[in-house]
Amino acid sequence: MGQEPGRGDLSYAVLGLLSFGRELSGYELKQWADNLRFFYAAPAMSLVYTELARLQSAGLVTSREVPGEGRRGARVYRLAPAGEAELRTWLSRPVPPATLRHPVALRLFFGHLADPDRLQAVLEEHRARCEELLAELDAVREGLRDDATFRYPALVAQWGQRYYGGEAAAAADIAALLPLDDPADLEDPAGPAWR
């Protein structure tokens, strides 16, 4: 869930996904990249292939064709030593802050103008979406459980479980408080006409 990574971040994401010691096809890489969606946008398949070609011509990854089920074999990619060195350099550089773009919070900010039922529905939709992503993350985390190679991705998955669990709980708690008393209600018990 997030913005499309900039060209730089996509390069490092692809290099990073190849750093777990396995050769991966473009298709397998895309499946792995989809696991970034919980805290970044998952890149489109076409972008993954473009990036792989770019990284290969820069000498950061190598590839070879392996026999496949179709007429053509599948091409698999491996991290080259220069690619690993570039990854380590990236990991030592300053890290930009995390950013959030929260259209639900923006609408709640102006909740005094919203139809109360509509605002409840918007929060409920956000809660349901967070619960859904949480369930997907639970499955990802479960799948990584026993593999020490993926201990850091597993830790990121746990972080995501906290985040989405927290967001879902916050949305539910806020929805339970709505509608907030309108000051106009206090002056006029009948309330304003638009409610």
Select the span of 8-16, 23-31, 45-53, 60-68 touching a second copy (CB under 8 A): 8-16
Which of 67, 96 has the CB closer to a second copy?
96
Q: Give start and end residues of each alpha helix (H) in 1-69.
A: 7-17, 26-33, 45-57
Task: Report the site for a second copy in 92-121 (rule: CB under 8 A).
Answer: 92, 95-115, 118-119
Neighbours of 138 (CB within 10 A): 15
- Does 129 participate in binding a second copy (rule CB under 8 A)? yes
Options 34, 40, 45, 74; binder of a second copy; rule CB under 8 A: 40
Which of 22, 75 has the CB closer to a second copy?
22
Options 71, 183, 190, 193; binder of a second copy; rule CB under 8 A: 183
| 147 alpha carbon, distance to own chain's centre | 22
Q: In what order do the strands lie in the sheet with 61-66?
A: 24-25, 74-79, 61-66
DSSP string covering 119-141, please? HHHHHHHHHHHHHHHHHHHHHHH
Select the span of 35-43, 44-52, 58-66, 68-76 touching a second copy (CB under 8 A): 35-43
Neighbours of 93 (CB within 10 A): 7
Minimum separation from the CB atom of position 3 to a second copy (A): 5
Which of 27, 159 has the CB closer to a second copy?
159
Options 13, 52, 134, 140; binder of a second copy; rule CB under 8 A: 13
Which of 50, 165 has the CB closer to a second copy?
165
Minimum separation from the CB atom of position 92 to a second copy (A): 6
> Which token pair is 148?
């020490």
CA 122 to CA 113: how far, in whole Å?
Answer: 14
How far is the CA of 10 from the CAs of 45, 116, 128, 155, in angstroms?
Answer: 12, 41, 29, 21
The residues that bridge with 119 in the sheet, in sequence order, are none
CA 20 to CA 162: how far, in whole Å?
Answer: 25
DSSP 78: E
Interface with a second copy (CB under 8 A): 1-3, 5, 9, 12-13, 16, 19-20, 36, 39-41, 84, 87-88, 91-92, 95-115, 118-119, 122, 125-126, 129, 148-149, 151-153, 155-156, 159-160, 162-163, 166-167, 170, 174, 177, 180-181, 183, 186
